[in-house]
Amino acid sequence: MRLLMAFTLIASFVILPVHADEQIAKGKAIFQNCMACHGEQAMGDEDNEAPRLAGQHGWYLVTQLQNFQAGIRGVHEDDDNGQMMRAMATTLSDEDIENVVAYITTLSEE
Ligand code: HEC
């Protein structure tokens, strides 16, 4: 039993970083579709009225993407920017959201 726990503990240290790297790599690929508006380093672009995403909490970014998808955000007829972003968000799967947010949160670590 103790051996199994030790093994699980070691395995989780070995597997987790690999999993995280994979997530970040997939997220980086997805983020190619976001750069045009949010900027290469996710610093935002005022000309596009696209906000900075780098430095933001991961959980907040996930919630906002889910809100766009669920039609909680970006559905008002006068909200052109919101509607545009909602169209982007609805192309993402749950896994895409996790991956792209994992990548975005690395951009503020430098
Ligand atoms: C066509 C331009 C455009 C593209 C492409 C785009 N966005 Fe956006 N995004 C915006 C704009 C504009 C807003 C501000 C929406 C608003 O005013 O509510 C926004 C808002 C957001 C927000 C909410 C930020 C906050 O602080 O609440 C997130 C998260 C986001 N975008 C993520 C992404 C991701 C991830 C992608 C790529 C899959 C992406 N965006 C692609 C224009 C874009």
Summarised one tens digit per residue, pLDDT across range 62-82 is: 999 999 999 999 999 999 999
Task: Print the domain residue range for 60.
Answer: 2-106
Quote the ligand 1 centre to 17 CA distance (angstroms). 28
First to last CA, the chain: 41
Residue 3: is its pLDDT beyond 90?
no
Are 26 and 99 in contact by the 8 Å Cβ rule? The answer is yes
CATH classification of the domain holding 55: 1.10.760.10
What whole-number distance in Å separates Cα of residue 42 and Cα of residue 103? 10
This prediction's pTM: 0.88
State the Cα angle at 35 between 84 and 83, rounded to 5°.
5
What is the CB < 6 Å shell around ligand 1? Answer: 30, 33-34, 36-38, 48-51, 53, 61, 64-65, 81-82, 84-85, 88, 92, 100
Among the atoms of ligand 1, which is closest to the Cα of residue 89? 38
User: How many domains does one find in the chain?
Assistant: 1
Quote the ligand 1 centre to 69 CA distance (angstroms). 12
Question: Ligand 1, atom 7: nearest CA belongs to which residue?
Answer: 85
